[in-house]
Amino acid sequence: MFGVGFLIATSSQAAESYWPQFRGPNGAGISDSAKPPVNFGPGSNELWHVKVPPGLSSPCVWEDSIFLTAFNDGKLSVLALDRKSGKQRWEKGVPAAAIEKYHLQEGSPAASTCATDGKNVVSYFGSCGLVCYDLAGKELWKYEMPPAVTAGEFGSGVSPIIADGMVV
């Protein structure tokens, strides 16, 4: 299986407990409290390293869970990893009648980052729409949409956010 290396680096247990959406809790891409190490990599400030299916989403973090989207062998999925060990907790396939057109060298049908409010995990795929799971991976709802059409067939990369109980 083709995979992508994924590593988590932390300087202490005081690292953020929540990174609930693309670019973090306030959408600015920075943390007010985390102090990540300047150097990290194999053997240096590495908590764990695990292969995951291909995809270009950023990690979505809630307490001890990490959520990612993936596109492997023509199939879309959402997966949850244990934050402490990197072990996969669950992976759920997301059926699509057709895969959106995307730029093969720079895009992916799994480019969108998941969003969570600590109860729900919402993922968007330009190929089929929105899907929501609980933290244990049980599908709660799905909102089907036709495949996205983008300028230059680059592929979609919009990521949902959850605000005031609504998905935006």
The domain over range 4-167 is classified in CATH as 2.40.128.630:
yes
The residues pairing with 130 across neighbouring beta strands, listed in sequence order, are 124, 143
Locate the domains of the chain by residue range: 4-167
Cα–Cα dist 150/72, whole Å: 21
Is residue 67 within 8 A of residue 114, CB to CB? The reply is: yes
Interval 32-86: pLDDT, tens: 777 778 888 888 888 888 999 999 999 999 999 999 999 999 999 999 999 999 9
Which pLDDT belongs to residue 16?
55
Q: Is 35 exposed, middle or buried (0-12, 13-18, 19+ CB in 10 A)?
A: exposed
Full-model pTM: 0.88
